[in-house]
Amino acid sequence: MTDLDRLLAFAARSRLPGGGFGYLGSDGTVEPGRPQETWIVARMTHVFGLAALLGRPGAEEQAAAGVAALRGGPLHDGAHGGWHSTEDDDTKAAYVHAFAVLAGATATTVGVEGGRALLDEALHVWDRRFWDDAEGLAVEEWTADWSRLSDYRGANANMHGVEATLAAADALGGAGADRLRQRALRSLERVVHGWARERDWRLPEHFTVDWTPLPGFNRDRPADPFRPYGVTVGHQFEWARLALHARAVLDDPPAWLLEDAVALFDAAAVRGWAADGAPGFPYTLDWDDRPVVAARMHWVLCEAVAAATVLAAVTGETRYGELASTWRAHGEERFADPATGSWHHELTPSGEVATGTWTGQPDAYHLAQMLLLDGRPVRGSVAAALR
């Protein structure tokens, strides 16, 4: 079985001498020549913060290094505020800033030096530049100087915005926490209770500036790592789980949070699993539930297991626990890499390592959270569950 300590030891190899974290290749070394990426730094900071809450040796120091890199490294824009997407890409993306909020929230929960300052700054930027209160959703991407906003709108960044907002609420507490949780609820209502429910639990990911769905978006680039065409099975599991995290911390949660989480989960499970006749979940489906990108992504399976785990805890129904165990066993058999202690990030439907969308094993975030949610209470965030 995948061991958390071994996974953390592998993740620690992403630490860069000059600060921050790099993108790990399948051999456990940072890929040479690849620019540092804010989402990687923020996710690693979050993961090591979670490990620090468990008392893992050296984890708090790793999280502190991530906080320092986010507050003062080359990815941080001291002139205009916020964070560049990468060292070579100075756009300001909601996806990146959601993870900056998450990293700050987890670091604040741990008590890492500079963690609260990071959270305060990241929330300030999120509030001022990304959160659209009239829509109850976040906009997508700005130029470096905040002078031009893209017309594209996306569900992916909003999903991680919900996750980060719930984590920030748990970290801060008080009256501000209620405001943040209500924001998360508004986004969940638009995306899950609105678009997903209206389309029989086939969640649109891409939208125009006025939030009109774009079902054909990226049809010519279906394997895009962040904006793929069609229905992204793993995101449906994530949204289902986030609805349950929100339900756990709201004073008077609406009944649809649980009802919709079950429906969205079931649709992803039934339509996704072995959709092409081979075991596992394809990356994406078209609007008639046919596989588009048949590659199996580790993060999709991790999110399926995590959602099933949380549903089992919330409902007490044995079928969810059985699914979590079955899917986890599939991951251990197919994805687990005994050489690294992590999981291969992409496989063919028959189980060979593939690189159509992802190279290497850069991401400890999905796998670590899958491991840490097992057997713990459901809270607004993983950090709060560990605390």
pLDDT in tens, 272-295: 999 999 999 999 999 999 999 999
Question: How far apart are the C-alpha atoms of 366 and 302, rounded to whole Å?
Answer: 6
Amino acid 54: pLDDT? 98
DSSP H or E stretch at residue 343: none
Look at residue 73 and tell me if it is in a domain: yes
Question: How far apart are the C-alpha atoms of 104 and 49, rounded to whole Å?
Answer: 9
Amino acid 373: pLDDT? 98
DSSP line for 281-310: --SEE-TTS-BSS-PEEHHHHHHHHHHHHH
Question: How far apart are the C-alpha atoms of 294 and 283, rounded to whole Å?
Answer: 6
Residues in Cβ contact with 289 at an 8 Å cutoff, skipping those fewer than 6 apart: 202, 231, 271, 275
For the stretch 205-212, contacts whose Cβ atoms lie closer than 8 Å and that sit 24 or more positions apart, written own/partner, are 205/154, 205/155, 205/156, 205/231, 205/232, 205/235, 206/152, 206/153, 206/154, 206/155, 207/152, 207/153, 207/154, 207/155, 208/151, 208/152, 208/153, 209/151, 209/152, 209/153, 211/135, 211/137, 211/153
Amino acid 228: pLDDT? 98
Look at residue 174 and tell me if it is in a domain: yes
| Residue type at position 303 | E
pLDDT in tens, 7-50: 999 999 999 999 999 999 999 999 999 999 999 999 999 999 99
Give the CA angle between residues 29, 156, 364 to the nearest 5°. 25
Residues in Cβ contact with 25 at an 8 Å cutoff, skipping those fewer than 6 apart: 31, 359, 360, 361
Expressed as residue numbers, the domain containing 154 is 4-381
| Number of independent structural domains in the chain | 1
Cβ contact 258:244 at 8 Å: yes
Amino acid 300: pLDDT? 98
Q: Which sign does the torsion angle of CA 175, 180, 181, 182 carry?
A: positive
Look at residue 387 and tell me if it is in a domain: no
Amino acid 251: pLDDT? 95
For 31, half-sphere exposure in the C-beta direction (CA atoms, 13 angstrom radius) is 15
Question: How far apart are the C-alpha atoms of 304 and 324, rounded to whole Å?
Answer: 7
Amino acid 134: pLDDT? 98
Look at residue 228 and tell me if it is in a domain: yes
Q: Coil, strand, or helix at residue 153?
A: strand
Amino acid 335: pLDDT? 98
Question: How far apart are the C-alpha atoms of 376 and 387, rounded to whole Å?
Answer: 10
Residue 235 catalytic? Answer: yes
Identify the residue whose tokens are 């620090």: 52
Q: Which two tokens stand for residue 186?
A: 């508004």
Look at residue 170 and tell me if it is in a domain: yes
Cβ contact 123:101 at 8 Å: yes
pLDDT in tens, 303-349: 999 999 999 999 999 999 999 999 999 999 999 999 999 999 999 99
Q: Which two tokens stand for residue 201?
A: 């639990």
pLDDT in tens, 235-260: 999 999 999 999 999 999 999 999 99
Amino acid 136: pLDDT? 98
Alpha-carbon dihedral 37, 39, 40, 45, rounded to 10 degrees: 130
Q: Which two tokens stand for residue 375?
A: 């057997």
State what percent of residues in the chain have pLDDT above 70: 100
Give the pTM.
0.98
206, 344, 345, 366: the catalytic one is: 366
84, 160, 193, 235: the catalytic one is: 235
Residue 240 is part of a domain; what is its CATH number? 1.50.10.10
Look at residue 268 and tell me if it is in a domain: yes
pLDDT in tens, 99-157: 999 999 999 999 999 999 999 999 999 999 999 999 999 999 999 999 999 999 999 99
Antiparallel, parallel or unpaired: β 131-132 and 137-138: antiparallel
Residues in Cβ contact with 117 at an 8 Å cutoff, skipping those fewer than 6 apart: 71
Cβ contact 160:102 at 8 Å: yes
Amino acid 331: pLDDT? 98
Amino acid 147: pLDDT? 98
Look at residue 164 and tell me if it is in a domain: yes
Look at residue 386 and tell me if it is in a domain: no
| Residue type at position 365 | Y
